[in-house]
Amino acid sequence: ARHLCLLFSAPLLRPRPSLTCKAGPEIQAFVIPHSHMDVGWVYTVQESMHAYASNVYSSVVEELSRVKSRKFIAVEQEFFRLWWVNVATDWHKKQVGQLLKEGRLEFIIGGQVMHDEAVTDVDDAILQLTEGHGFLYETFGVRPRFGWHVDPFGASATTPVLFALAGFDAHLISRIDYDLKDDMQKNKKLQFVWRGSPSLKEKQEIFTHTMDQFSYCTPSYLPFSNRSGFYWNGVALFPDPPKDGIYPNMSLPVTKETVELYAQTMVDNIKQRAQWFRTSHVLWPWGCDKQFFNASVQFMNMDVIMNYINTHSDKYGVAVQYATLQDYFQTVHQTNLSWDVRGNQDFLPYSTEPFQAWTGFYGSRNVLKGVARRASSLLYAAESLFTRYRISYPNGPVQKEWALDKLKALRWAVSEVQHHDGITGTESPKVADMYMEHLMQGMMGAEELLAAVFLLPQTLELSNDIHHTPQTRSTTHIIVYNPLAWNISTYINISVAYAMAVVLDDDGKAVPAQIQQSMESSTVYDLFFVVELGGLQYRMYIVQFPQSHCDTGSACGATHVARVVTFKKKNVSQWKRTGRKLLPVLNECYKLMFDQETNLLHSITDRQMRVRVQQDFWEYEANGDVHSGPISDNYIFTANGSAIPAYKSVAMEIVPGKVVSEIRQYFYREEEDKNHTYSVVTRVPVGFEGRLACFRLEQSYKVGPLEINRETVFRTRTSLKNNRTLFTDNNGYQMMKRTYKTFVNNTIARNYYPMVRAAYIQDDSSRVVFLSERAHGVASLSQGQLEVMLHRRLWNNQEWNLGYNLTLNDSSVVRPVLWMMLGSPSALSSIYQQEALQLQHRPVVMPIDQPQIVPDMPHPSFFSPLSYSPSCIHLSLLYYVLNISYSYARYACLNVYISFLGLNAPIRT
């Protein structure tokens, strides 16, 4: 245990006269007015601004200015910034500044959104936090000091570390497992010191407050009325506010007849909460979703109740006051108590009752999850490239203001989608479309910026190899950029329209390449070629398409023409003796054996270590009728029994190559089906001995469209003795050990965990690792088994879901990618994190028609790789260097976060 006083900086939490301890009522309640405003969910951001969000800040500022005792906390910066820029008058802006100085308006979290904690990547959580904090510091000179994560569906151990690193003094959470919260309430353990990082430990600990069973909303039950309690402005209406000002479910006004009834209800609830905490100070959140759009009627009624309670405090034993989190946490701090310490355990998964495991959203809206991560990676690439450009060409032709506008749009879009009803996939279809539109527009702008930088003047001297190339049909120029800080050697894949191609690098040298028939179309070919790039380096490659036969010794010889070998379709019902006829596919690191009786993977050998491995698709059948039992929806996964095989037959093609060997497996729902429902393509890199690419087995999936009420998993069964123990990453930051637990109900769903970047199973001698480029749900439900949920399509007749259009009738086809690695735990522990980042930040590939040549311009110096690029360091953020970004770089200074891959410990310099 540690004293809370050790966690706070004295200048921040200096005592205020109004909070001086004195004799008084037994319980002191801190009434914290707030409005929970989802940045998307059922309604788009634009709809929410129109219906209520603009009025929240306008009316709150007006009401705080009228009465000095009133206070308010503001959370989601996206809504506040839109109000500040588009709605607030000069008077409003002046008053906001004054209220901040007085401590009566307090920004909490300060991020663009209240980000999800299960399926967000740590880099994106940092991004959205930085985006909001930068605006606040630039505009007001303030920095938020407290977390308020009241609505994410479970709490990760990464978030308290991130908030501690950001200088927060305390953190507040709410949604944790129902039975755990009940136990913590009974034992008064809702408050503790959280050390979320196993490496940083007490260096980045933070005092954490867990909200009780009433969560962040004011209790809605009024024993003397059939209306909701303490919400006098009622419920927001969409799309337009009512012209008569009468909103649904407006609470009973406070009058002489009702004030005592209201006061007694509030006091009873305060005393009930007080029983669950160690101090006599009660945090009483006043507000809920979409509240305070009419702050006048809200404060006018609450003022009367609070004055009545304080006037009769001797009778009630309770005193109440408007407060911010600063007020509450400082008062708790002054009690000088010692608190239990919690290690790096998280609060995942999250269940609200036995059949309500919120593990479905780990896999909901797979397409959106993929686009969000691609947008984040593109933003990272664009920012790092433009940073190097500005270093070399501070007055270059790519204008700083234009470039920063492009980056800002994508930063906003990537930040926005991290909302806990965004990347989670728990939003309505029109909100998902909004996120997708903002992401795609932002990505287009970033690609314009990349093109502008790439097309800088450059001299391309071609060697004599080109003169040996036959006359060509056409030429394509490909620019490939490595956004990582270390050297890479890998392959890239582009689609071409011709059956033969020659690839030349920027020195005119022929590059090892491979061309083959695409599995997608008979008129398209896949061209693979090897790229060697230094840290933050880009190179140009020329792809030529010969018209005639290639001469011996010409550049064509560097391109291997791979042939597709087709195997007979195998029906599951006709499988006989498996494991007798095995077909090997080899590279320098692995030997994969495929069973010709089943067309499935049989085993993988890593040097001398052989592991049985079988992979295929399975489905969970979900219940869609609330009258027949528990259901699955956007949020919840309720397994209606064990998963069943999702196929009746399997076809296979193998493409032996000299850059990559490809195994294509097609899974048919029924034996007679002509079109497959699922496919997986496993790519085995060839010719990369001694390099990381050799260890990487890339698997690309095609899933869907699914039948209604199906949840599809890709299951890998191995001979490992892992005792159903799984390791998953926490937001891509640190690995968490997940031990299988047995429950009376819903055991399958409650053993699912989020995988953001990595998951693995292992025994004493072997480890099987999966790396992902988007979030998924993952579980180990049997010995040696690991399954990844790839896609969900659900419909149910629950009134609440139907009313908000949250049934997840997702008929899309999804194409996620996983990298699989196999080896000893000691061998893989040193490389899998680096590989996860390489999957996250794959080379940016941009085809261009012709490079633009402008005379008398020097060759750009940032064309060359970094002079020092150790593979153990990842430059996580690099966009404030040399003050190229917003003016609040003065606050951020040199905001470069460096992740030491062996320690999982980002530091700031």
Q: Which residues are catalytic?
A: 151
Instruction: Walk across the sheet containing 767-772 and list its strands.
Output: 565-571, 649-655, 660-668, 678-685, 697-703, 817-823, 767-772, 758-762, 726-730, 734-738
- Tracing tokens 């009545």 back to the chain, one arrives at 308
CA distance 471 to 548: 7
DSSP string, 578-621: TTSSEEEEE-SSEEEEEETTTTEEEEEEETTEEEEEEEEEEEEE
Burial of 576 (0-12, 13-18, 19+ CB in 10 A): exposed
Three-state secondary structure readout of 52-100: HHHHHHHHHHHHHHHCCCCCEEECCHHHHHHHHHHCCCHHHHHHHHHHH
Name the residue with tokens 């007490």: 202
d(CA 879, CA 406): 13
Distance of CA 782 to the CA centre of its chain: 28
Helices (H), 312-350: 313-316, 325-334
* C-alpha span between 196 and 198 (Å, rounded): 7
Residue 388 and residue 536 in contact, taking contact as beta carbons nearer than 8 Å: yes
The Cα–Cα gap between 73 and 133 comes to: 15
Q: How far apart are CA 206 and CA 769, in angstroms?
A: 32
Q: Which amino acid is at 628?
A: S
120 vs 116: CA distance, rounded Å? 6
> Within 13 Å of residue 673, how many CA atoms lie on the same side as its CB?
18
Six token digits for residue 151: 């609505």
Look at residues 572, 629, 562 and name the one whose alpha carbon lies nearest to residue 599.
572
Q: What's the rounded Cα separation, in Å, for the pair 120 and 707?
A: 28
d(CA 836, CA 817): 12
Task: Give the integer Cα–Cα distance in Å for 352 and 400.
Answer: 49
| DSSP calls for 802-841 | HHHT-S------B--EEEEEEE-HHHHHTTHHHHHHHHHT
Q: Tokens 């007694």 identify what position?
A: 264
Torsions phi, psi of 125, nearest 5? -65, -40
